[in-house]
Amino acid sequence: MPYPKKNLNANETVALDMHPHWWFFAEPALSLLGAIILGIIVAAKTDGDGAGRTILVYVVIALMVVAALWLIGRYLKWITTNFVITSNRLIFRQGVIGKSGIEIPLERVNNVNFNQSVFERILGAGDLLIESGGEDGQSRFTDIRHPDKVQNLIHSQMESLHQRRGGYSQSPAAPSSSDFTVQLERLEGMLERGTITPEEFEAQKRRLLES
């Protein structure tokens, strides 16, 4: 289920809209598989119509029903969970009946980190930790598909937003002394991410110093 376009602001575009990684289903799917295997074992190892066998059958059926309901519930949660990157915001929404969500303006994002274990790297999943200037400070999002690529996309959208609002460009206007440090830190961040070359960084730094 895609993020509703009616919730977007005027002139706001969606750069990424995704549900959690399929690993989100691992626990209920494995539980259901285990219950099915247990049912096969019970059917193969027990004979007759004794009370003991009947109890085991009911227990296995109950386990299968619970696991199946868990899987269905997880699927409903999956299709109603969206991690969205727009031209202005980061949006996280989830909930089948009751809804909850987080919205972080890109201009308030201070840092974006991702974390992957070796197993998660194989699967292409991981976590994102976003530090912002909001009240919460940090927001962690789990089961993100290819978090390294999502991190790069967030940085790209941040730079695009800054340029649209009159920030850094290839030939920027001379900044005032009050925002010299901010401009220099932004240039250093762009250099670290490879958005500009060392030569372009030095040239822009000289312009800032000369202004």
Q: List, for residues 109-118, the tens digit of each pLDDT value.
A: 888 899 989 9
pTM for this entry: 0.68
Output DSSP code: residue 167: -
> In the beta sheet, which residues pair with residue 84?
17, 91
Quote the crossing angle between the two packed helices 180-193 and 147-164, to the nearest 10°. Answer: 140
Could you give the CA distance from residue 109 to residue 104 in angstroms, rounded to a whole number?
Answer: 7
Q: Which domain holds residue 90?
A: 5-20+81-164
- Give, in order, the Cα–Cα distances in Å from 164 to each of 4, 8, 21, 88, 139: 24, 18, 32, 11, 26
**Residue 170, domain member (yes or no):** no
Which residues does 211 contact at the CB level (< 8 Å), separation at least 6? Answer: 174, 175, 180
Question: How would you list the strands of the sheet with 109-115, edge to edge?
Answer: 109-115, 125-132, 138-145
Please tell me whether residues 74 and 86 are part of one structural domain. Answer: no
Please tell me whether residues 117 and 131 are part of one structural domain. Answer: yes
Place of tokens 């312009």: 207
Could you give the CA distance from residue 199 to residue 211 in angstroms, rounded to a whole number?
Answer: 19
**Residue 114, domain member (yes or no):** yes
Could you give the CA distance from residue 211 to residue 119 in angstroms, rounded to a whole number?
Answer: 50
| Predicted local confidence at residue 34, as pLDDT | 94
Phi/psi for 194 (5° steps) reads 80, 10
In the predicted model, what is the mean pLDDT of the chain? 83
Could you give the CA distance from residue 172 to residue 51 in angstroms, rounded to a whole number?
Answer: 83
**Residue 171, domain member (yes or no):** no
Please tell me whether residues 9 and 70 are part of one structural domain. Answer: no
To which H or E segment does residue 82 belong?
A: strand 82-86
- Token digits for 159? 């730079």
Please tell me whether residues 95 and 151 are part of one structural domain. Answer: yes
Q: Predicted confidence band at 172 (pLDDT cuts at 50, 70, 90)? A: very low
| Predicted local confidence at residue 171, as pLDDT | 43
Please tell me whether residues 16 and 89 are part of one structural domain. Answer: yes
Please tell me whether residues 73 and 114 are part of one structural domain. Answer: no
| Predicted local confidence at residue 49, as pLDDT | 62
| Domain count of the fold of the chain | 3
The more confidently predicted of residues 186 and 48 is 186
Of 170, 160, 208, 194, the residue nearest 15 (C-alpha): 160
**Residue 102, domain member (yes or no):** yes
The most confident of the ranges 63-72, 95-104, 130-139 is 63-72
